[in-house]
Amino acid sequence: MLFDKVAAVERRYDELNQLLSDPNVASDLGRMATLARAHSEIEEIVQVYQAYRAAQSELADATRMVEEESDPEMVELARGEVERLRAEQEQREAQLQRLLLPKDPNDDKNVIVEIRAGTGGDEAGLFAADLLRMYARWAEGHSYKTEILSHHETGLGGFKEVIFQVRGRGAYSQLKWESGVHRVQRVPVTEAQGRIHTSTATVAVLPEADEVEVEVSPQDIRIDVFRATGPGGQSVNTTDSAVRVTHLPTGIVISCQDEKSQLQNKTKAMAILRARLYQMEQERLASERSEARRGQIGSGERSEKIRTYNYPQNRVTDHRIGKTVYNLAAVLEGDLDEFIEELAASEQAEKLQVIDED
């Protein structure tokens, strides 16, 4: 079954190669881009399959040498090759299984990340600001672009809420693991007696949806405009440029006031609204498919405590995979790759287990 699927992918790869070399296709930039994207998505599968077949051919030769060679020394060398090539084949087969797992259709999308202060008062707001910086640093290190869409500051330089966009292919595939409750244990700047406090912030990572994927009827929204305000409620401009969008069927309310024009703020608010509506629909479909599988890693449940940042012990622990590192400062500077890679590997193992059970 596995190799039937791989052979079909290889045939499709050969078809795409022929199409991409067709002058008529080359003149159609849109079609060319679509075909090139499809070619890129399956190229690794074909390369691994070709390496598997090469090892298979070499294994047949080495096995034949063990059976037919009369020189004991050559036989021993051939046996060593047989062992090596069998191990390589097992490795390639496991790699093909992973590559053929169903891909999350949202993986290539941009994301909208929402960070909200949880328990802990001003300290929770400061922690929310730390998380924003952490993700911004990570994005910068991976050549992604970030833009703040909406924010509500606290008096000490923290955030009650901050919503930002991360743009770049594969952003969702990397950051989707961050949804959940993040917990910090440290001595707050407002603590006079040096006691350690525990505070939380909630992170939601939403795949960005375009207008084609989520159509919002004008009759379903109410738009209010008001004057932008800063910390403490003071007015920060003299025009009604801030925008509040209310989605009447769901009651979702989005406010944006970072830009100087109503149009810009409305555009940002609608982008956030579409992302939330898209996420709601994805969760509904996932629930319908299998209620029992919603506990999978990466489910994005906001109530799930996923990670603890402990300052006294210089420790960061991801509770989903039981991983602890002792380089808290580096993590808060955006060094998240170790967590992301192991969470992705864990999800792959979960999917393979589900396939085996089915």
How many other C-beta atoms lie within 10 A of the C-beta of residue 71?
10
Q: Which of 202, 159, 198, 203 is nearest to 312 (CA)?
A: 198
The total number of structural domains that make up the chain: 2
- Whether residues 80 and 120 share a domain: the answer is no
Domain of 318: which CATH number? 3.30.70.1660
227: number of Cβ within 10 Å: 13
For 52, the domain range is 2-99
The partner residues of 311 in beta bridges, in order of sequence, read none
The one-letter code for the residue type at 69 is E
CATH for 31: 1.20.58
How would you class 208 by CB atoms within 10 Å of its CB: exposed for 0-12, middle for 13-18, buried for 19 or more? buried
Task: Looking at the structure, tell me whether residues 126 and 13 fall in a common domain.
Answer: no
Domain contains 55: yes
pLDDT at 31: 87
Q: What stretches of the chain adopt beta strand conformation (E)?
A: 111-117, 145-153, 159-167, 180-186, 197-207, 221-226, 242-247, 252-256, 305-310, 315-318, 323-325
pLDDT in tens, 11-67: 999 999 999 998 888 888 888 888 888 888 889 899 999 999 999 999 999 999 999
Domain-terminating residue out of 70, 99, 128: 99
Q: Are residues 157 and 261 in the same domain?
A: yes
Looking at residue 204, its pLDDT comes to 92
Is the model's pLDDT at 274 over the cut of 50? yes
Task: Specify if 241 maps to a domain.
Answer: yes
Q: Which residue in 230, 235, 226, 234 sits closest to 253, CA to CA?
A: 226
Residue 305 near residue 181, CB atoms below 8 Å: yes
CA-wise closest residue to 205 among 174, 250, 245: 174
Boundary residue ending a domain (39, 64, 99): 99
Q: pLDDT band for 230, please (50, 70, 90 cuts).
A: low
* Structural domain includes residue 334: yes
In this prediction the pTM is 0.69
Average of pLDDT values for 195-218? 87
Please report whether residue 357 resides in a domain: no
d(CA 320, CA 305): 9
Per-residue confidence at 354, pLDDT binned at 50, 70, 90?
Answer: low
Query: Residue 198 domain-assigned?
Result: yes
Q: Do 7 and 130 share a domain, yes or no?
A: no
Domain termination site, one of 39, 68, 99:
99
Q: What share of the chain is helix, strand, coil (3-state, %, to 5)?
A: 50, 20, 30
Residue 105 falls within a domain, yes or no?
no
Q: Report the pLDDT averaged over residues 310-335.
A: 96
Q: pLDDT higher for 147 or 37?
A: 147
59-101 pLDDT, tens digit per residue, is: 999 999 999 888 888 989 999 999 999 999 998 988 888 788 7
